[in-house]
């Protein structure tokens, strides 16, 4: 029996992470150097992906290949129970410059101080 992955579920996982990161479909297509229509088809689950496309998505979205394909969480680089929102925040911080990370940290500390 031939094994396949659930394209609809994979597309949904990709779409959710893209939305969490605040990117449009066109921006993601550009990030992975693919046509916008092809990227939209990936999110809809109407087409499969090459290994190269999977790798580009994995890197751009900071998602493991296991998670994209199978939906299996791999927290080897994260924390047990890490939410998708926390993962998205970490991805955005990792993709920013040091001064932006410093500023974000100061804002977060200020925000949390006023929540008490």
Question: pLDDT, tens digit, for every residue of 37-50?
Answer: 999 999 999 998 99
Tokens encoding 84: 């998708």
Give residue for tokens 């998205």.
88
| Cα separation, 10 vs 69, whole angstroms | 6
Tokens encoding 108: 């977060």
Phi, psi of 9 (to 5 degrees): -65, -40
pLDDT of 1: 65
**Which domains are seen in the chain, by residue range?**
7-82 (1.10.260.40)
Q: 66: left (phi > 0), else alpha (psi -120 to 50), else beta? A: alpha
Query: pLDDT tens-digit profile of 60-90?
Result: 998 899 989 988 765 555 555 567 778 788 8
Query: pLDDT tens-digit profile of 13-38?
Result: 999 999 988 899 999 999 999 999 99
């Amino acid at each position: 029996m031939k094994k396949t992955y659930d394209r609809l579920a994979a597309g949904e996982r990709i779409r959710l992470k893209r939305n969490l990161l605040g990117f449009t479909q066109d921006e993601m297509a550009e990030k992975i150097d693919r046509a916008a229509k092809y990227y939209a088809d990936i999110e809809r689950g109407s087409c499969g992906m090459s290994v190269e496309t999977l790798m580009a998505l994995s890197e751009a979205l900071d998602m493991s290949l296991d998670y994209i394909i199978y939906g299996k969480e791999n927290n080897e680089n994260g924390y047990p129970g890490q939410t998708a929102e926390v993962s998205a925040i970490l991805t955005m911080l990792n993709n920013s410059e040091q001064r932006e990370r410093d500023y974000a940290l100061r804002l977060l500390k200020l925000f949390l101080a006023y929540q008490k």
